[in-house]
Structure 1
């Protein structure tokens, strides 16, 4: 049975981009919204995987949109992008801290570029609760690819069935279940806490 909890970051512990933050980022790019967001996401995976730098990513976005960007604008885009993903759900941080205090083993799995990963490491001390932090920019594996989950199993030295994965996206949950993990589709901090406490009948690390 599962006794280790593997959390997603964005949409679970951290919030998705707000409309206002999205508009700041789009305005910084100076491109109409539909085209900007389609290109932003179409080119995102190599950036999340660490295959291209932030400067490389934003130059690719600009080229695909038929525009150009200089280094100063790219720095502004990076700052706006990081800010748009930086709001944390304090209720979920409390869930993480309660789970850690109970002796539960915790890990984190996130599709995230290096600039955001470094930001979270600098500003969020609650990351210390995680035995394993699997940032895609450093593991070279992104969800929902099976190897993203297998990387976590190897790092934790656990069979998939020993892990409960919590994520807000159905495709990521299905991919985790396909390799044998237990999974919980995130709806709220209350439900996530309940899913974790239901593991209390199995042995935990002290």
Structure 2
């Protein structure tokens, strides 16, 4: 049996940005959408690793777009960005709570900036079920960097092969497996339940 289930957050328990949320960001920035998203994602890793603050990140995005955002626009961009990443999947929250109630060891590894991590901690008591919460902004590593998985293994104090990593992105799963963990590419809560049931089933003697 897998000792620990290490969950990704966005795309597994929490939702990715909605179309409405994305549109609001683009409108607030006042930039062409393709250019905006190129800058948004290219500059995101240092923000996720906690190397730059929200306002600092948005100033860098403005620079990449060849413009400047004043403090008021930056505040609106920070707020819109946080709102866009704030949705959660009730079915997955329920599964997390079920696993915790059964005594399953669970942990969390998420690429997330500090402002968003604080919002989740303020609003979601279910985060308390995770024995380890590895937020990229606080551990200094972001998936799929090997250091992110190594940090989790060391924090959990268990062999990597006894950790099942659940994520919706193949490159993150491959990186976890390269670190010696087992991986499950998340698609639906039901398929994850089935996978966990197979992992927990007694193995037949050979």
Q: How would you bin the TM-score normalised by the shorter chain? A: over 0.9
User: Which residue does 1:14 correspond to in 2?
Assistant: 14
User: Which residue does 1:187 correspond to in 2?
Assistant: 187
Mapped partners of 2:163, 2:198: distance in 1: 13
Q: CA deviation at 1:177?
A: 0.5
Mapped partners of 2:155, 2:194: distance in 1: 26
Confirm or deny: 8 A CA contact 2:5 2:106 kept in the other structure.
yes
Counterpart secondary structure, 2:141: coil
Mapped partners of 1:33, 1:167: distance in 2: 27
Q: How many aligned residue pairs are there?
A: 202
**1:84-163 aligned within 5 A:** 84-163=84-163
Unaligned runs of 5+ in 2: none
Unaligned runs of 5+ in 1: none
Confirm or deny: 8 A CA contact 2:28 2:77 kept in the other structure.
yes
Q: CA deviation at 1:197?
A: 2.6
Mapped partners of 1:126, 1:28: distance in 2: 32
Confirm or deny: 8 A CA contact 2:2 2:200 kept in the other structure.
no
Confirm or deny: 8 A CA contact 1:12 1:167 kept in the other structure.
yes
Q: CA deviation at 1:87?
A: 0.5
Confirm or deny: 8 A CA contact 1:99 1:196 kept in the other structure.
no
Q: CA deviation at 1:201?
A: 4.2
Structure 1 residues 164-173 or 93-102, which shifts more? 93-102
Q: CA deviation at 1:147?
A: 0.8
TM-score of the pair, normalised by structure 2 = 0.96
Q: CA deviation at 1:196?
A: 2.1
